Amino acid sequence: MNALTEIQAGSRALLSGNEAVARAVWEAGVKVASAYPGTPSTEILETLARYPDLDAQWGVNEKVSLEVAIGASLAGARSFCAMKHVGMNVAADALMSQALAGVNAGLVIAIADDVGLSSSQNEQDSRYWGRFAHLPILEPADAQEAYTFTLAAYALSEQFSCPVILRMTTRVCHVKAVVEVGERLTPDHKGFIRDARRWVMLPSNAKAMLPRQDARDAALSAESDATPLTTVLDGADRALGLIASGPAALSAREALPDVPILKLGQTWPLPMERIRAFASGVDRVLVVEETEPLVEHDLKAAGLDVMGKDVLPRHGELSVSVLRSAIARLNGEAAADAGPASPGVISGPDPDVFPRPPTMCPGCPHLSPFYCLSKLRRAVLIAGDIGCYTLGAGHPWQAMDTCTCMGASITMAHGLAAAKAGEDEKKGVVAVIGDSTFLHMGMQGLLNLVYNRANVTVMLLDNRTVAMTGGQEHPGTGFGIHGEDAPRVDYVALVQAMGVKPERVHTVDPYALPDLFKVIRTEVQVPEVSVIITNQPCVLTDRHVPHPALKVVEEDCTGCGGCITIGCPAIEVSRRETATTNSGKTRELAFARIDSAFCTGCNACVETCAPNAIVPLNPADHPRLERV
């Protein structure tokens, strides 16, 4: 047991939006919950794994997770699935068909939109899926509503026999608020209902479901007008009325406390009658929504005169300051007043902060592969993927030419190689992908490489975790979500089973830098599919075994800067000097020091130091210890 599971019914607890959703899912009597980790949604399933009487499991990707949840629903058990916004792009095939067939027991899908692109490659608006799949969208504004709306979503799902989408955003997911919780329900287990005409999506069966979907749309629209999840926040100034949803509604209330607001809890289907009634009571209507103008367009299509993205920004969060500035411009004012600070909040100009671009961790096993690739930049094209190693595109490596979405490194490398075939056979193509990403969506790409005899070298960087989202488990780690032993994928056997020749598969210690460089340089010259697997765990997991820290002997350092190009954050430039070579050219020298408090003793920098100026911090230690 833990603090979350010990919260008593009727009590209040400080919960994040993700924790509040998890609590509501458990209270709703859900039996099966599946997800693939992705910020900002990751903590929902991590929290659910701490509750009893519920099977929480990581799926290998979002499509798999959603199909597991669908299967549980058809078997008569309430189920749940969570993902970030780009995850629904992967799961859409299952969503679109099951939206037509419907569900048996309640199924709720939480999609967390990364408004502002805190950790994502795009900023898409998941409310589109409601319109696309004819499914209701509930949009909580804070943690208490995340809890309340999740419970309401299960009732709505079973009332209309369809999945319900809970649209979260980064702010709702991660900001904490006081939440009043209840007790776990025990809904009836319906069991599987045999109905092939409904569950088997043959074209003839699917066609017969279309009229029922139309009838459901009409019923959902009526329900939307009646739902208590949509409320009116009163205001005395009737010159302007706001229609808002999610956390933007709370920002709007703080920015304009005297303006009436129609706060939408269900944003699809829209409560058109309530919207018309609200609009008739104010002079002008402004739609406040993050990020796309979906509600704005729907209302204009319905003949309502509203403003929206012609006043407000289309991208990023609609904070209090953003809204105040927009309203000032709308009113023809020269500048917006940020307004008085809340009690206890220190106001003033933002302090100047030294820029700190994201980088890999000290001793990260991905440092050496990108160091090697940076030395081969003139000889190779590098297709990257989504994960910590995407940082290989940055300084000092600059060793990535493309990066689009999860799993695309291998398939895009295939296209790069196919397009230049016969033009420059000496120029190799390398695909870089992580272990969890490979299992998520990379295996099909490798199979395609082999089948089409592509000339690509795949670097599979196995650090035994889903590192970028916080170190979750997956089928390649050997552990389940609760830390229990689980079957572990054998990558060598797997890629060979896909058809990669045994002599073209190499497992390399990434800290053994000369060996790694030699294997990469050799394989990019071989005109067939190669796979290079690195095999050291993420330094932030308990599977990593640190080694004695290192230091730079200052008097022996020549300022060559070789160790600095590894990119390890533990290595710093202590001073710079300009030297003149024998030929009269000037050269900048960068003398290094190692912050031994951060050094993990990985030994990679030692391999780059010609004068052997990097030694153990403690002379009794030896830097070249065997690693696990």
Is 602 known to sit in a ligand binding site? yes
Q: Give the C-alpha separation, 507 to 335, whole Å.
A: 61
Is 605 known to sit in a ligand binding site? yes
Q: Is the peptide bond before 269 cis (omega within 30 degrees of 0)?
A: yes
The pair of structure tokens assigned to 449 is 């490489």
519 CB-near residues (< 8 Å, 6+ apart): 506, 508, 532
Distance of CA 245 to the CA centre of its chain: 23
Q: Give the C-alpha separation, 334 to 597, whole Å.
A: 52
Q: Give the C-alpha separation, 147 to 17, whole Å.
A: 8
Instruction: Find out whether 552 and 613 touch, Cβ atoms under 8 Å.
Output: yes
Torsions phi, psi of 352, nearest 5? -75, 125
The pair of structure tokens assigned to 465 is 């975790």
Is 609 known to sit in a ligand binding site? yes
Determine the 3-state secondary structure of 488 from DSSP: coil
Nearest-10 crossing angle of helices 85-101, 203-226: 110
CB-based burial label for 203 (10 Å; 0-12, 13-18, 19+): exposed
Nearest-10 crossing angle of helices 408-419, 443-451: 20
Instruction: Find out whether 186 and 197 touch, Cβ atoms under 8 Å.
Output: no
Instruction: Find out whether 392 and 373 touch, Cβ atoms under 8 Å.
Output: yes
Is 599 known to sit in a ligand binding site? yes
282: left (phi over 0), alpha (psi -120 to 50) or beta: beta
Is 563 known to sit in a ligand binding site? yes
Instruction: Find out whether 223 and 265 touch, Cβ atoms under 8 Å.
Output: no
First to last CA, the chain: 33
The sign one gets for the Cα dihedral 100, 101, 106, 107 is: negative
Instruction: Find out whether 436 and 469 touch, Cβ atoms under 8 Å.
Output: no
Q: From the annotation, which residues make up the binding site?
A: 557, 560, 563, 568, 599, 602, 605, 609
Q: From the annotation, which residues make up the binding site for [4Fe-4S] cluster?
A: 557, 560, 563, 568, 599, 602, 605, 609
